[in-house]
Amino acid sequence: MSQSPLQQAQQQLFEPSGITESHLDKVFSQLQGADLADLYFQSTRFESWGMEEGIIKNGTYSIEQGVGVRMVVGEQTGFAYSDEISFDALTTAAKAAAGIGKAGQTGRVQAWQANTPAKINPLYSVDNPLAALTEDEKIALLNLADKEARAASPYVTQVMANIAGVHEHILIADIEGNLNADIRPLVRMNITVIVEKDGKRESAGTGGGGRYGFDYFTQADRVRDYANEAVRLALVNLDAVPAPAGSQTVVLGSGWPGILLHEAIGHGLEGDFNRKGTSAFSGRVGETVAAKGVTVVDDGTLENRRGSLSIDDEGTQTNCTTLIENGVLKGYMQDKLNAKLMGEQSTGNGRRESYAHLPMPRMTNTYMLPGNDDPEEILASVKNGLYAVNFGGGQVDITSGKFVFSASEAYLIENGKITQPVKGATLIGNGPDVLTRVSMIGNDLKLDAGVGVCGKAGQSVPVGVGQPTLKIDGLTVGGTEA
């Protein structure tokens, strides 16, 4: 019988340095008086390969490991970490983290002992994703990307392709005696092309991935699809006319445009901002913040998705958390610290970039449930407007609620018909009211292809988004045609 993830993680993280339960007991005894304390052990193997000008130009392999020690007393957190996993390093880090607590805490009677682990259904394989293909097979993928992109159009002048994969082992021991493990695969492929036609040049990129092995990219013609999509997008933009400027009716395509939800409402519903009262959504649970029919969830439980986690980085099982139900704000995304201080339960959204970072409430896969409208009818209902189907990044000011996201493929809608492609432009709106202007919701929910990265307070984590086709009556489009 194969080993459980917990046994495998212990083998990877504890055995080389001889860490035992009695060591953990001694470390936790340094953290007495904590309302919350945990040790986060992590080892990461990362690999990437890049191709350009038809040559495999570089590859990188990375070995990282370490342990982070956190102690929380009331609202105060002490944190220290070490890139060495050993009892000595743990003791030193615990001493530093305990600087937050009051000295001389006593009253401890029981030794730290691991509880019986809770049954967790893994959402992905424990197999090493990096070993799912041989080096030659990985290189063949990149060469295929080059071949497919160049075959797609004679106007392609450059093809850049990259694959990257991570294999992580994580063990989280908390002061309550919980010992949880997760073994996480994550792979990603990106293809960027440059096209040139009649002296005009454009570039575009696409990609995909998820919590799979590298062999994900050898299946279902994925590489060809990414390459064709990148070329198509670049060629469309060659013919783009200047984007309109000002308030427009905007139809957002399904899938990746769900970045709207991530920026406009997702960040504003993270527990830390709401506990501190710094979010434009603070204190608004129960209020109407979206049109009737709008239901938005954050769902960490989808198998193999990029934003999914079997357990979060505090050992809590992930959930499908309803953020907005039929237009009404239902609740926030929580980690342990903020949930405790707000008298709520963690929703399994406690995430951290690595052992060297503190956890905080973060999104997983954030998406809107489908409605009843036919996407064709949504477009046909617009006299003049913008149809935006692909996006670059986005950003939000949590406090004022103002958010932006950048369209990279968009078209004019004239008399219900898609006409010309327009140049990339920033769309800007106000989080707490943009969803009140949703007037039609498509029946075509789609999730993104699996390349999203979310940044918050200097920490990056992989996330997913999704939505059906949406019609928004009035969003400011940042074009040049005033």
Nearest-angstrom CA–CA distance, 48 and 43: 17
CB of 106 to another protein, least distance (A): 22
Nearest-angstrom CA–CA distance, 242 and 477: 11
Name the E strands within 139-269: 156-174, 179-197, 200-210, 245-252
**Quick one: 381 or 395, whose CB is closer to another protein?**
395
CB of 302 to another protein, least distance (A): 28
* Three-class secondary structure of residue 375 per DSSP: helix
CB of 50 to another protein, least distance (A): 9
Q: Give the contacts of 414 (CB within 8 A, at least 6 positions apart).
A: 383, 384
CB of 14 to another protein, least distance (A): 16
Structure tokens at 266: 């997702």
**Quick one: 268 or 442, whose CB is closer to another protein?**
268
Nearest-angstrom CA–CA distance, 136 and 100: 51
List, in sequence order, every residue forming a beta bridge with 265; answer none if it has no partner.
none
The CA-atom distances, in angstroms, between 126 and each of 64, 74, 184 are 18, 36, 7
Amino acid at 173: A
**Quick one: 114 or 131, whose CB is closer to another protein?**
131
- 46-64 burial, b for 16+ CB within 10 Å, e for fewer? bbbbbbbeeebeeeeeeee
CB of 404 to another protein, least distance (A): 3
**Quick one: 101 or 375, whose CB is closer to another protein?**
101
Nearest-angstrom CA–CA distance, 174 and 79: 14
CB of 132 to another protein, least distance (A): 16
The CA-atom distances, in angstroms, between 40 and each of 13, 44, 157, 175, 284 are 10, 13, 47, 12, 34
Amino acid at 182: D
Answer whether 280's CB lies under 8 Å from 311's CB.
Answer: no
Nearest-angstrom CA–CA distance, 456 and 350: 13
CB of 160 to another protein, least distance (A): 8
| Other residues' Cβ atoms within 10 Å of the Cβ of residue 11 | 12
**Quick one: 107 or 154, whose CB is closer to another protein?**
154
Nearest-angstrom CA–CA distance, 275 and 332: 10
Q: Give the contacts of 242 (CB within 8 A, at least 6 positions apart).
A: 422, 423, 479, 480, 481
**Quick one: 177 or 478, whose CB is closer to another protein?**
478
**Quick one: 83 or 88, whose CB is closer to another protein?**
83
**Quick one: 204 or 463, whose CB is closer to another protein?**
204
Nearest-angstrom CA–CA distance, 467 and 257: 7
CB of 282 to another protein, least distance (A): 8
Structure tokens at 222: 């994925």
Answer whether 450's CB lies under 8 Å from 303's CB.
Answer: no
Answer whether 189's CB lies under 8 Å from 50's CB.
Answer: no
CB of 224 to another protein, least distance (A): 21
CB of 199 to another protein, least distance (A): 11
Give CA 148 to chain center in angstroms.
Answer: 29
Answer whether 402's CB lies under 8 Å from 410's CB.
Answer: no
CB of 411 to another protein, least distance (A): 16
Nearest-angstrom CA–CA distance, 335 and 125: 25
CB of 294 to another protein, least distance (A): 21
